[in-house]
Amino acid sequence: MKRQDIQCDSQGQLRHFLTIEGHKRETLTQILDTAENFVTVGNQPVKKVPLLRGKTIVNLFFESSTRTRTTFELAAKRLSADVLNVNISTSSTSKGESLLDMLHNLEAMHCDMFVVRHEQSGAAHFIAQHVVPHISIINAGDGRHAHPTQAMLDVFTIRKHKPDFTALRVAIVGDLMHSRVARSQIHALNTLGVPEIRAIGPCTLIPPYLEQMGVHVYHDVREGLKDVDVVIMLRLQRERMDGALLPSELEYFQTYGLTQEKLALAKPDAIVMHPGPINRGVEIESSVADGPQSVILEQVSNGIAVRMAVMSVVLGRKPSGEEGEA
């Protein structure tokens, strides 16, 4: 079964959001346009809309996270859904219960959506194949495979500053080998019509399949950053590295870390992004991370609106302009 098939029902309605791969441009644009309606919710006196009132959303985070879990929880609550955070470390799975048994017990509690983060690639897809039809799955990151909502908030942030995707040159810098975010970003950028995507990093951190995805690979950071519109920095994911892929973090920063000097090679109005968490002095210097071209904190804020949009679209509820208070 194709991944895009399991993500949609027989009418083509988005049922799960597991990966960007396979989705049409219209689906991604629908999510981005829906998110526009939610951007200002956080500025209202009552930070809620009633779209998902009566729905129950369960956060199943088998891998630690702060920013992603928090923004998913805030997104669900701002849609007026009830939220259950399952502490996996103290759940029955740690006492020998199987994953499927735990899921079936949660299904029996009449939940509507599971937000799943897991260290194993394909975990969210596996869960989506085994849940009952009325439950939707959102992939909040699985192994090295995909992080679709992060990619969507990234392209949403890009669209705010650079509305015409077909005129952009985007550079993704750093540890692409272990980055599920980068894979999802590349799929999203390709789908939305970005004509040139560059991957910049050492040979040991650039996967061999990137060129098959239409990505231009650079090992010289200065050559790769020349005249780009968007610079996306990636975290060095030491926890996923097998063996010594880098001589030292200091040498990595000197060669690939984003400094003011290297950023000057990009277009003067280029924006700087980072999915976080940031390792200052490793991937990026503080003067750039906190500088006028940085939109890193915007990414965090936009993550709430985009995740609200994904939840509302997946559960079949779309805003029609202004929404009342819950």
Q: Which of 27, 34, 68, 157 is catalytic?
A: 68
**Beta carbons of 284 and 277 less than 8 angstroms apart:** no
Residue 169 is a catalytic residue: no
Q: Which of 117, 144, 145, 183 is catalytic?
A: 117
Q: Which of 3, 47, 48, 67 is catalytic?
A: 67
> Any binding-site annotation on 276?
yes
> Any binding-site annotation on 318?
no
> Any binding-site annotation on 293?
no
> Any binding-site annotation on 169?
no
> Any binding-site annotation on 198?
no
Q: Which of 23, 77, 145, 147 is catalytic?
A: 147
> Any binding-site annotation on 235?
yes
Residue 125 is a catalytic residue: no
> Any binding-site annotation on 159?
no
Closest CA to 121 of 36, 225, 21: 21
Residue 68 is a catalytic residue: yes
What 3 state SS string does the chain have? CCHHHHHECCCCCECCECCCCCCCHHHHHHHHHHHHCCHHHHHCCCCCCCCCCCCEEEEEECCCCCHHHHHHHHHHHHCCCEEEEECHHHCHHHHCCCHHHHHHHHHCCCCCEEEEEECCCCHHHHHHHHCCCCCEEEEEEECCCECHHHHHHHHHHHHHHCCCHHHCEEEEECCCCCCHHHHHHHHHHHHCCCCEEEEECCHHHCCCCHHHHCEEEECCHHHHHCCCCEEEECCCCHHHCCCCCCCCHHHHHHHHCECHHHHCCCCCCCEEECCCCCCECCCECHHHHCCCCECHHHHHHHHHHHHHHHHHHHCCCCCCCCCCCC
> Any binding-site annotation on 147?
yes
Closest CA to 277 of 240, 233, 222: 233
> Any binding-site annotation on 280?
no
> Any binding-site annotation on 95?
yes
**Beta carbons of 49 and 323 less than 8 angstroms apart:** yes
Catalytic residues: 67-68, 95, 117, 147
List, as residue ranges, the binding site.
67-68, 95, 117, 147, 150, 180, 235, 276-277
List, as residue ranges, the binding site for carbamoyl phosphate.
67-68, 117, 147, 150, 276-277
